[in-house]
Amino acid sequence: MTRQIRSTVPRRNDPAVPDTWTRVRLVEPSTAGFVLVAASSGPWPVPVALPRGRRRALVARMRAVAAALRRDPGVLRADVFTGVLRPPAARAGGPAPDFDAVLLVETASVARAEDLRAAPLLTGLVADLRAAAHRTFAFTGSNPRRIGPVDHDRQGVFLFNFFSARDVESTLFAWQYTAGWFQDQTGLDNSTVLQPADPEVLPYTVVNHCRWDRLRDVLPALLVKRSFRTFVLRVFDENGVVPHPVLYRLSR
């Protein structure tokens, strides 16, 4: 059962910030490290990702690297995702992601992720993508917040939400309330927040990653629930945070 919505919008550095109904319920962060490599095959003129030969080539290159990475004893997972849909976001601001191919690597530690990112396998991948893709984005990161582990063993609807903001702290402050809304309104029981090791030099402060079983588990809440606009989008807007959500499927 969901909790009653309060009209108050929490703002960072406000001494009267309430413990609102949407505050997210968390577990301990993971100590793993992460490498994320995202590429765009071209602009998205409509919300749905249209079929493209270039996307298939980008995904094939990522899958080949992922298969090689899985043989590394320091790699826990290496998964590739293909873009499906860009759902509604708050407002314009920062570079809107049109990434329709993503490789996410989970390693035993942040140090191992940093070593891996500098190794020829991944530096070669990023160089190839920069030459072939419309746009490329890559970083090494850690997990500062977690609702629960994201299941990559089953197909589903996977979110990568690329956040633009003044700083990481503003992003995490807004996320703790908006993620709670998703817990209550969509049954979300998993999420791994990825924080780049050097966010000051990147266009995005954090990237949130989570999963639902089906599109109907999340999309109706974004389109028809009034509180998505009056609470979720307002929390982001009034804290200077711009979400750029993209939904994906696992590439098998």
Q: What is the pLDDT of residue 94?
A: 63
Q: Structure tokens of 231? A: 């609470």
Q: What is the greatest pairwise CA distance in the chain?
A: 53
Q: What is the pLDDT of residue 13?
A: 62
Task: State pLDDT tens for residues 92-140.
Answer: 566 678 999 999 999 999 999 999 999 999 999 999 999 999 999 999 9
Distances, alpha carbon 157 to alpha carbons 82, 175, 201, 212, 216, in Å: 10, 20, 30, 5, 10
Q: In terms of DSSP bridges, do strands 191-196 and 135-142 run parallel, antiparallel, or are they unpaired?
A: antiparallel
- Find the mean pLDDT for residues 65-83: 98
Check if the beta carbon of residue 188 is closer than 8 Å to that of residue 245.
no
- Top mean-pLDDT range of 12-16, 101-105, 202-206: 101-105
Q: What pTM did the predictor assign?
A: 0.92
To which H or E segment does residue 101 belong? strand 101-107
Q: What is the CA radius of gyration of the chain?
A: 18
More confident position, 193 or 12: 193
Distances, alpha carbon 191 to alpha carbons 172, 188, 207, in Å: 13, 8, 10
Q: How far apart are CA 62 and CA 70, in angstroms?
A: 12
Q: How far apart are CA 31 and CA 188, in angstroms?
A: 22
Given pLDDT bands bounded at 50, 70 and 90, which one contains residue 1?
very low
Q: What is the mean pLDDT of the chain?
A: 90
Given pLDDT bands bounded at 50, 70 and 90, which one contains residue 2?
very low
132-146 per-residue burial string, b: 16 or more CB within 10 A, e: under 16: ebebbbbbbbbbbbb
Q: Structure tokens of 115? A: 């070593």
Number of other residues whose CB lies within 10 A of the CB of residue 200 = 8
Number of other residues whose CB lies within 10 A of the CB of residue 203 = 14
